[in-house]
Amino acid sequence: MNVSGLVSVVVIALASAIIVGAVGLITLRLLARYSLVLQLLIVALATIVSVVSGMAAAASLMYVSEHDLTVFYFVAGVAGLVSLLMAGILGRALAKDSRHLTLAAASLGSGEPLASPERHSNTEFAALAGQLAATGARLQELRDREGRIEASRRDLVAWISHDLRTPLAGIRAMAEALEDDMVEDPARYHRQIRGQVDRLSGMVDDLFELSRIHSGTLRLRLSQVALYDLISDTVADLGPVAREKSLDLRFEGAMGLTIRADAGELSRAVGNLVMNAVQQSSPGSAIVVAVTEHDDGRAVISVQDDAGGIDPADLDRVFEAGWRGSEPRTPAVLPTERGRAGLGLAIVEGIVAAHGGEVTVQNVAGGCRFDLLLPVS
């Protein structure tokens, strides 16, 4: 075939492909709202028609025999039927994947789990389905967390209401008794009123601290803090309370660790843990506050008690605002220790997080241990 003949074939094939392609595009536009399977069949049919029409036009110029042209038409017809069949199978697979992804997207809002098919028609759909499944799992975790937070908020409101009502009722009763001059020892009533006011003040301080933590307005005044000095001061401050319950409160561990922290806030966190252990411990047991160095270089402040441990089902909830332990970790507490509304451990977690650290809790033999893991700098 000479150059002019080859050019003529190319022009004919191009013209046929353009005409058939334009008709196919118009048809696809008209069928845009129809099934993906039908659209794939249209594309396959347009391809077959484009090839056959181009070959037929070229054959007419090359004077191909009628027998050869008939053979070509039969071959093209069989190939076209196979192509249409393959397009239909692929279209059904794509449509099935599309329906699955649509249901998966809809399930993200309802929270219902969706079973993933054993296989997908292509890698892209499989990756998209995997991402939707992972997103659904994360959303479900967030829903569960939101539910726990809401339940914790209701518990917190209930505990706060109860713990505020009790001292207020006592203050009112004692004030009325003093006003009616019906007491023989007014000084004792004055001391009791002062104690109740201190309890209320402590609850308000806890609420304010927790609000600062949750709102992100907690500002740390960082400085070099010797952990031994900080723990010693905390043990000394709470020593009288521990001795009142015949508890052995002591310090153990390293004495030379220094970190960069807010001494006041960190002291409050450690004090909350020690007070929690004091409240839960039975007379005669021990509370050990220790300072060690973690394998990764972080400083670890541990508070361990012999109060019987925490129910494993509650270990994930101990740092929720308003959470309070269940039996057997609820022995009778001192009157001066009541009414803290379950905010102490939530405040501990917030303070440690503000320092870039983490707090963990685990049951040990006879009790539990809280660990504050803090970066050295």
> H/E/C letters for each residue in the chain?
CCHHHHHHHHHHHHHHHHHHHHHHHHHHHHCCCCCHHHHHHHHHHHHHHHHHHHHHHHHHHCCCCHHHHHHHHHHHHHHHHHHHHHHHHHHHHHHHHHHHHHHHHHHHHHCCCCCCCCCCCCHHHHHHHHHHHHHHHHHHHHHHHHHHHHHHHHHHHHHHHHHHHHHHHHHHHHHHHHHCCCCCCHHHHHHHHHHHHHHHHHHHHHHHHHHHHHHCCCCCCCEEEEHHHHHHHHHHHHHHHHHHCCCEEEEEECCCCEEEECHHHHHHHHHHHHHHHHHHCCCCCEEEEEEEECCCCCEEEEEECCCCCCCHHHCCCCCCCCCCCCCCCCCCCCHHHCCCCCCHHHHHHHHHHHCCCEEEEEEECCEEEEEEEECCC
Question: Who contacts 112 (Cβ-Cβ below 8 Å, separation ≥6)?
Answer: none
Q: Where are the domains of the chain?
A: 3-121, 146-215, 223-374
Higher pLDDT, 178 or 6: 178
198: pLDDT strictly greater than 60: yes
By the 8 A CB rule, do 278 and 245 touch?
Answer: yes
Q: What is the pLDDT of residues 97-140, one digit of tens each?
A: 777 777 777 777 666 665 555 566 667 777 777 777 778 788 88
Question: Who contacts 145 (Cβ-Cβ below 8 Å, separation ≥6)?
Answer: none
Q: How confident is the model at residue 77 (pLDDT cuts 50, 70, 90)?
A: confident
CA 368/CA 331 separation, integer angstroms: 15
Overall average pLDDT of the 23-43 stretch: 78
pLDDT at 335: 39
pLDDT at 192: 87
Q: How confident is the model at residue 312 (pLDDT cuts 50, 70, 90)?
A: confident
Higher pLDDT, 112 or 257: 257
Mean pLDDT of the chain: 79
pLDDT at 371: 92
pLDDT at 302: 92
Higher pLDDT, 14 or 60: 14
Q: How confident is the model at residue 372 (pLDDT cuts 50, 70, 90)?
A: very high
Q: What is the CATH number of domain 223-374?
A: 3.30.565.10
By the 8 A CB rule, do 269 and 347 touch?
Answer: yes
The answer to which of 2-11, 99-108, 222-231, 249-258 has the lowest mean pLDDT is 2-11
pLDDT at 205: 82
Q: How confident is the model at residue 332 (pLDDT cuts 50, 70, 90)?
A: very low
The answer to whether domain 146-215 has CATH 1.10.3720.10 is no
Q: Is 248 left (phi over 0), alpha (psi -120 to 50) or beta?
A: beta
331: pLDDT strictly greater than 50: no
Q: How confident is the model at residue 373 (pLDDT cuts 50, 70, 90)?
A: very high
pLDDT at 336: 42
328: pLDDT strictly greater than 50: no
303: pLDDT strictly greater than 50: yes
